[in-house]
């Protein structure tokens, strides 16, 4: 059997190697025990507030502004360049039944006939200035009757109310409408009167028209909201009734309808073109 006197004694060189590698292992283990953050602390966080992309800490929106910022609202008055309809206000009179505006004269007895084809349909409209008046919104107005037929069949009769303001503007105070089908009245589409349901008189022809003028012709919200813009003046016009040089063209639009319509007026006569129909008699 083996006794204590037989244990091998270590080699001094081997012992020094073991001690050296042991120290290396201890140093490596000590480094892995602690994981200091970038500022030397051991809490794993950086000093100071968290940075979110904005110097003051607000989050950024898509346009680079902070969410707390609000875009500046711009209030644009789309009607700022329109003629004021105040000239036609019932209290702005006295109004006259003598309507002698050069482009919209309405002497009693005047009769215009316009005719034309819209597709395969023959349209005919007759305007007659009646020796009749109607009080609308407290103003005595002249009555102009309009009769419209399609292929000879009556489809509408309207009574339109006009008066002239002191400066020569022709004001439109509304219309009574009877729609026909088979000779019977079936409706009153587009009828309105100034002074009722918030309706106001509009401008049918300015006193001193110039190209670029814009104005409300009908002011009956949700019923009749035609607007006019004078697009040219002085152009030559040839229609079945003749050739005319002193003309005024209006482009009409409405927020209630799609597209626009064209009307041309002749000095000292009145309307000569209304969409597809043209003056054949005056």
Amino acid 279: pLDDT: 98
Select the more confidently predicted residue: 41 or 88. Answer: 88
Is the alpha carbon torsion for 64, 69, 71, 72 positive or negative? negative
Question: What are the two backbone dihedrals, phi and then psi, of residue 89, each rounded to the nearest 5 degrees?
Answer: -60, 135
**121 Cβ neighbours under 8 A, 6+ residues apart:** 150, 151
Report if pTM > 0.95.
no
Tokens 């489809």 sit on residue: 155
pLDDT at 57 over 90: no
**For 239-276, how does the pLDDT look when each residue is reduced to its tens digit (9 = 90+)?**
999 999 999 999 999 999 999 999 999 999 999 999 99
pLDDT, tens only, 26-47: 444 444 444 444 344 444 444 4
Q: What is the per-residue pLDDT across 100-129, written as a single tens digit (0 to 9) for each? A: 999 999 999 999 999 999 999 999 999 999
3-state SS, one letter per residue, for 196-264: CCCCECEEEECCCCCCCCEEECCEECCCECCEEEEEEECCCEEECCEEECCEEEEEEECCCCCCEEEEE
pLDDT for 80 equals: 61
User: What is the percentage of the chain residues whose pLDDT exceeds 90?
Assistant: 71
- Mean predicted confidence (pLDDT) in 79-88: 88
Answer whether 76's CB lies under 8 Å from 93's CB.
no
pLDDT at site 35: 44
Joined together, the tokens standing for residue 207 give 């006193």
Classify the C-alpha dihedral 94-100-106-107 as positive or negative.
positive
What is the dihedral sign for C-alpha 78, 83, 88, 93?
Answer: positive
Q: What is the pLDDT averaged over residues 48-74?
A: 40
**Apex 273 CA angle, 268 and 279, nearest 5:** 70
Q: Whole-angstrom Cα distance, residue 195 to residue 201? A: 8
Q: Which two tokens stand for residue 80?
A: 């700022």
- pLDDT band, very low/low/confident/very high, at 79 (cuts 50, 70, 90): low
Structure tokens at 21: 């590698």
pLDDT of 199 higher than 50: yes
């Amino acid at each position: 059997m083996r006794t204590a006197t037989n244990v091998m004694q270590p080699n001094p060189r081997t012992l020094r190697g073991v001690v050296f590698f042991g120290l290396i292992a201890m140093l490596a283990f000590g480094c892995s025990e602690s994981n200091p953050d970038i500022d030397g602390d051991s809490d794993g966080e950086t000093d100071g507030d968290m940075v979110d992309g904005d110097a003051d800490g607000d989050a950024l929106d898509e346009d680079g502004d902070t969410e707390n910022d609000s875009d500046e609202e711009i209030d644009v008055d789309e009607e700022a360049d329109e003629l004021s309809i105040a000239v036609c206000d019932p209290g702005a009179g006295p109004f006259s039944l003598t309507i002698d505006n050069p482009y919209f004269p309405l002497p009693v007895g005047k009769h215009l006939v316009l005719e034309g084809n819209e597709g395969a349909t023959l349209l005919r409209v007759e305007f007659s200035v009646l020796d009749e008046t109607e009080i609308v919104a407290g103003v005595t107005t002249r009555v102009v009757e309009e009769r419209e037929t399609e292929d000879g069949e009556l489809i509408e009769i309207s009574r339109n109310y006009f008066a002239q303001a002191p400066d020569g503007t022709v004001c439109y105070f509304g219309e009574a409408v009877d729609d026909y089908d088979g000779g019977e009245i079936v409706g009153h589409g587009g009828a309105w009167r100034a002074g009722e349901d918030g309706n106001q008189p509009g401008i049918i022809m300015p006193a001193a028209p110039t190209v670029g003028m814009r104005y409300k012709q009908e002011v009956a919200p949700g019923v009749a909201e035609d607007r006019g813009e004078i697009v040219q003046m002085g152009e030559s016009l040839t229609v079945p009734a003749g050739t005319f040089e002193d003309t005024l063209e209006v482009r009409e639009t409405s927020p209630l309808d799609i597209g626009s319509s064209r009307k041309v007026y002749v000095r000292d006569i009145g309307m000569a073109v209304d969409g597809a129909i043209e003056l054949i008699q005056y």
